[in-house]
Amino acid sequence: MLNSEICKEISSRLAGAAVGVREGEGGGLLSALSGLDCGIKFTDAAPDCAAYIFGGEGAFDARLAEGKPYVVVAENAEEAAKTFACAVQAGEYGREEWLLSVIEVLAGEFPLAAVNIDIPEWMRFLPQENSALSELIARVRAVAPKAAKCCQAGEYASLTEGAEYWTAEISVNLSYASGVATVTCTPRDGIFFDMLSELAGDKIEGEFSLMRYVRSAAEAKKCYSKVRDALDCARVNGYGIVSPSAEDLSYEQPQVVRQGGSVGIKLKASAPAYHIIRVDVSGEVSPIMGEASQSENIVKNMMNQFATDAEEAWNTDVFGKSLRAMVQEGLSSKVSSLQEETRIKLRKAVTRMANEGKGGIICIIL
């Protein structure tokens, strides 16, 4: 990018605010910068300036510089960089190219507002815990603390160097006007089917296995669509019904019905309907952890852990099993405790209610 283009972008980012210039011995820097036709307003350094350029011996003012982008112009740039720990430009007053380079260095000192990581569109459907995305996110988190300024956006150029799922080819584009860097990452060849396999939980090695899986998923989706609304209803209200579809209907032979002098026809059809009932099962465990003194200390530690990180506390190991596993086992045993005979009777009762009952009473004896 040409220096003149950077000037336009910095002018846009300043949005009319001025760059303060504070000069030391010699002077002439403010007038030289003001003479540039770059769209940036330069003025004597004041607290309300958006950025600062300090030029000459004794010009630096730490109070003005605090929290603002700034650059120091000095004859001995290396020594000044050590002294002020900031961006430094060697002093060559007067030349337009040099003045533009000062502005370019100042542009690099503006904060990096955001970093957009551009990945192939198909990868945006992958969950965050996916191995390729997890690898990339971990690397972004490692680089981010090193790239707080626009001039440090180049740190992302080595983002995927040595990565398992990404090529080392990185494109970093920076907009000084917005302070946004766009980093384009390219996945390695051949990982598309690996990511599909990871997402599907099934081995997908090529087009044949992909088509097989898609067909299977389409059939599963079709079946699930029949019960989805009933399942959602049961989740919210406790009871959901899957109504029969046209292909489920079974038609019986029509029958002639005579009543007095009239003749009619009786048409009958049957179809399965599925009633989904939400049963709230509760379970509990109360492990005995030894003597009273030992138990009290263990329980106290566990309660403190629940107060600070309840999710992690459920993973506490007790007698070779986590608390979470113990509770889940208790729930599973209750879920399967309903005997087969009881299930059959319950099904028959609901069937009679659906076909015959209108406000009837059912008595269930446990």
pLDDT of residue 145: 93
Please list, residue by residue across 333-349, b when 16 or more beta carbons sit within 10 angstroms of its beta carbon and e when fewer do. Answer: eeeeeeeeeeeeeeeee
Contact 59, 91 (CB under 8 A): no
Round to whole Å and give the CA distance between 55 and 43. Answer: 13
Contact 22, 64 (CB under 8 A): yes
Q: pLDDT tens digits, residue range 228-277? A: 888 888 888 888 888 887 777 787 788 888 877 788 887 777 788 888 88
**Domains by residue range for the chain, with CATH:** 3-108 (3.40.50), 115-195 (no CATH), 285-366 (no CATH)
**φ, ψ for residue 203, nearest 5 deg:** -75, 120
Q: Which of the four pLDDT bands, split at 50, 70 and 90, describes residue 324?
A: confident
pLDDT of residue 170: 92
pLDDT of residue 135: 94
Please list, residue by residue across 288-326, b when 16 or more beta carbons sit within 10 angstroms of its beta carbon and e when fewer do. Answer: eeeeeeeeeeeeeeeeeeeeeeeeebbeeeeeeeebeeb
